[in-house]
């Protein structure tokens, strides 16, 4: 099938590569000329396991093309994906300017019947706005071309995006047109072989499904962080509580890890956007507001532990902190809304210095923070420890899980570790003479 994809970010590029991998003819469009020029030369702008070889192989095979020329992309596409960003507006609602800009572009260039598929995460009712926008552009140039707008929210996880795309849990298709559903069923058939993953529903339900999924996951995290904060005060260990509740299949093991708060490009903005949608429709989203408030407080928690250890924020002035992990989660270089950004800012505001290491997010950190005297971006976890007073762990990369505690104690002047992801056993690390502060582990407090 001939497929055009607008937006070559995490969603667009991964979807494009996976669709090309199973034999479709894919053309990816972006307004970012540097990104497209890089992709043409085989430079993949994001880190995602397995993505680079897949992009290169399919580009070389001629099944995956890149362009900034929207007219060329739309010319013979049967299916046109919208996979551009939907960042938060000033009031937290989703900013639809990029989605609607693509709708205008499609309307201006459509030459033959096509299905427009909205993969971006968009508020309920957006498919109608996309449809109206395209129809208006067609009418303006007197063109009468059949098209449909379908919602097909994306559920891939950064860090496992290729795997999720090749083996999705479910493929939600929001449409009431049997022909559109059938066309997408054929498009996705290679990913849908051993069982039927397609969940067809009306457009509005599909749009809401994506927000419901992310809000549910964010709720689990904030809930667990609430329990962790209670555990700290009552002298309980949230890790034991986690094991105690996860064994109940109604609760399950996933997404019940306490930590330094959730970040990334999706949970924060999607919880906010859903809350704004609720408010706009006269419903007070009490739970969603609380999920967001708990997370916002939790992002400051690691710094609170530092202050508790040193007695006062003023005591941090002139100290140097090693920080392990900058990305918002492991296996990605994405630092959007990452908890590390809050911690670094708080450390700098307190007059402390940072020696940070992240296996993938170093370039991103350099882009975000630029050159500054109070930040050294290190090449390794070991190097970050050199000359540091203490260590803060912010992202649970696998390579941080089993450090040599004796070497840690020797390297850190104050022999203290602040663990924002509960990676270590308190007894084990404390036995090495290291003071250990973690999230919700009453015994270390």
Stretch that binds ligand NAD, among 81-89, 174-182, 248-256, 370-378 (CB under 6 A): 81-89
Number of chain positions touching ligand NAD (CB under 6 A): 26
The closest residue (CB) to ligand NAD is: 9
Stretch that binds ligand NAD, among 10-18, 137-145, 188-196, 396-404 (CB under 6 A): 10-18
Rule CB under 6 A: say whether 360 interacts with ligand NAD: no
Rule CB under 6 A: say whether 154 interacts with ligand NAD: yes
C-alpha separations of 396 from 178, 313, 320, 323, 386 in Å: 44, 26, 21, 12, 20
Measured from the CB atom, the residue of 150 and 429 that comes closer to ligand NAD is 150
> Closest Cα to residue 418, out of 309, 325, 337?
309
Rule CB under 6 A: say whether 381 interacts with ligand NAD: no
Rule CB under 6 A: say whether 211 interacts with ligand NAD: no
Rule CB under 6 A: say whether 11 interacts with ligand NAD: yes
Rule CB under 6 A: say whether 12 interacts with ligand NAD: yes
| 436 close to 405: Cβ distance less than 8 angstroms | no
Rule CB under 6 A: say whether 368 interacts with ligand NAD: no
Stretch that binds ligand NAD, among 31-39, 283-291, 380-388, 391-399 (CB under 6 A): 31-39
Is 266 a known active-site residue? yes
C-alpha separations of 199 from 161, 195, 359 in Å: 20, 12, 37
Rule CB under 6 A: say whether 151 interacts with ligand NAD: no
| 46 close to 11: Cβ distance less than 8 angstroms | no
Q: What's the rounded Cα separation, in Å, for the pair 409 and 133?
A: 62
Rule CB under 6 A: say whether 198 interacts with ligand NAD: no
User: For residue 107, what are its two tokens?
Assistant: 């309307």
Rule CB under 6 A: say whether 163 interacts with ligand NAD: no
Q: What's the rounded Cα separation, in Å, for the pair 165 and 180?
A: 20
Show the CA angle centred on residue 367, arms to residues 366 and 369, nearest 5°.
Answer: 65
Applying the rule CB under 6 A, the residues between 35 and 54 that interact with ligand NAD are 35
Strand order in the sheet with 416-419: 375-377, 353-357, 320-324, 390-393, 416-419, 435-437
User: For residue 381, what are its two tokens?
Assistant: 């976890």
Rule CB under 6 A: say whether 102 interacts with ligand NAD: yes
Could you say which DSSP state residue 313 is in? G
Q: What's the rounded Cα separation, in Å, for the pair 403 and 424?
A: 9
User: For residue 104, what are its two tokens?
Assistant: 């205008």
Rule CB under 6 A: say whether 9 interacts with ligand NAD: yes
Among 3, 10, 337, 408, binds ligand NAD (CB under 6 A): 10
Stretch that binds ligand NAD, among 96-104, 142-150, 293-301, 354-362 (CB under 6 A): 96-104
Rule CB under 6 A: say whether 30 interacts with ligand NAD: yes
DSSP 85-141: ---B-TTSSB--HHHHHHHHHHHHH--S-EEEEE-S---TTHHHHHHHHHHHHHHHT
Q: Which residues lie below 8 Å from residue 89, measured CB to CB, with a gap of 6+? A: 95
Rule CB under 6 A: say whether 330 interacts with ligand NAD: no
Applying the rule CB under 6 A, the residues between 245 and 274 that interact with ligand NAD are 265-266
Stretch that binds ligand NAD, among 8-16, 55-63, 137-145, 370-378 (CB under 6 A): 8-16
Measured from the CB atom, the residue of 123 and 420 that comes closer to ligand NAD is 123
Q: Which residues lie below 8 Å from residue 434, measured CB to CB, with a gap of 6+? A: 405, 408, 409, 412, 415, 416, 417
Mark residues 212-231: x for contact with ligand NAD by CB under 6 A, - for none: --------------------
Of the candidates 18, 165, 266, 378, the residue annotated as catalytic is 266
Rule CB under 6 A: say whether 331 interacts with ligand NAD: no
Measured from the CB atom, the residue of 263 and 440 that comes closer to ligand NAD is 263
User: For residue 302, what are its two tokens?
Assistant: 């690691």
Q: What's the rounded Cα separation, in Å, for the pair 434 and 307?
A: 17
Report, as residue numbers or ranges, the catalytic residues. Answer: 266
Residues in contact with ligand NAD by CB under 6 A are: 6-12, 29-32, 35, 83-86, 98, 101-102, 120-121, 154, 156, 158, 265-266
């Amino acid at each position: 099938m001939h497929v055009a994809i607008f937006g070559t970010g995490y969603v667009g590029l991964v979807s494009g590569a996976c669709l090309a991998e199973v034999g479709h003819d894919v053309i990816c469009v972006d307004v970012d000329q540097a990104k497209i020029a890089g992709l043409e030369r085989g430079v993949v702008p994001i880190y995602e396991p397995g993505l680079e070889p897949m992009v290169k192989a399919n580009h070389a095979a001629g099944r995956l093309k890149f362009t900034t020329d929207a007219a060329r992309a739309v010319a013979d596409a049967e299916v046109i994906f919208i996979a551009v960003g939907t960042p938060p507006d000033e009031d937290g609602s989703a900013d639809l300017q990029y989605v609607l800009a693509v709708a205008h572009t499609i309307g201006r260039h459509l030459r033959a019947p096509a299905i427009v598929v909205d993969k971006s995460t968009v508020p309920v009712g957006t498919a109608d706005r996309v449809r109206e926008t395209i129809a208006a552009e067609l009418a303006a140039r007197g063109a009468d071309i059949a098209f449909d707008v379908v919602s097909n929210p994306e559920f891939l996880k950064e860090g496992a995006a290729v795997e999720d795309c090749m083996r999705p849990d479910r493929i939600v298709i929001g449409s009431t047109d049997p022909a559109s559903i059938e066309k997408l069923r054929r498009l996705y058939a290679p990913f849908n072989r051993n069982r039927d993953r397609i969940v067809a529903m009306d457009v509005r339900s599909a749009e809401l499904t994506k927000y419901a999924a992310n809000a549910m996951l964010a709720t689990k995290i904030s809930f667990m962080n609430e329990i962790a904060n209670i555990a700290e005060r009552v002298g309980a260990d949230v890790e034991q509580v986690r094991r105690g509740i996860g064994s109940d299949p109604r609760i399950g093991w996933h997404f019940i890890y306490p930590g330094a708060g959730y970040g990334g490009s999706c949970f924060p903005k999607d919880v906010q956007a859903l809350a704004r949608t609720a408010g706009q429709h006269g419903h007070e989203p009490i739970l969603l507001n609380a999920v967001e408030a708990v997370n916002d407080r939790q992002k400051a928690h690691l710094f609170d532990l530092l202050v508790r250890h040193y007695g006062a924020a003023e005591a941090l002035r002139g100290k140097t902190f090693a920080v392990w992990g900058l990305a918002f989660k492991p296996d990605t270089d994405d630092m959007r809304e990452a908890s590390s950004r809050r911690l670094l800012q708080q450390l700098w505001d307190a007059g402390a210095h940072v020696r940070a290491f992240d296996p993938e997010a170093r370039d991103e950190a350099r882009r975000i923070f630029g050159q500054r005297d109070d930040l050294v971006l290190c090449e390794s976890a070991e190097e970050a420890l050199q000359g540091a007073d203490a260590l803060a762990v912010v992202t649970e990369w696998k390579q941080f899980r089993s450090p040599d505690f004796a070497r840690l104690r020797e390297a850190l002047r104050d022999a203290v570790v602040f663990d924002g992801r509960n990676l270590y056993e308190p007894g084990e690390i404390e036995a090495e003479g290291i003071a250990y502060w973690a999230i919700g582990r009453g015994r270390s407090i």
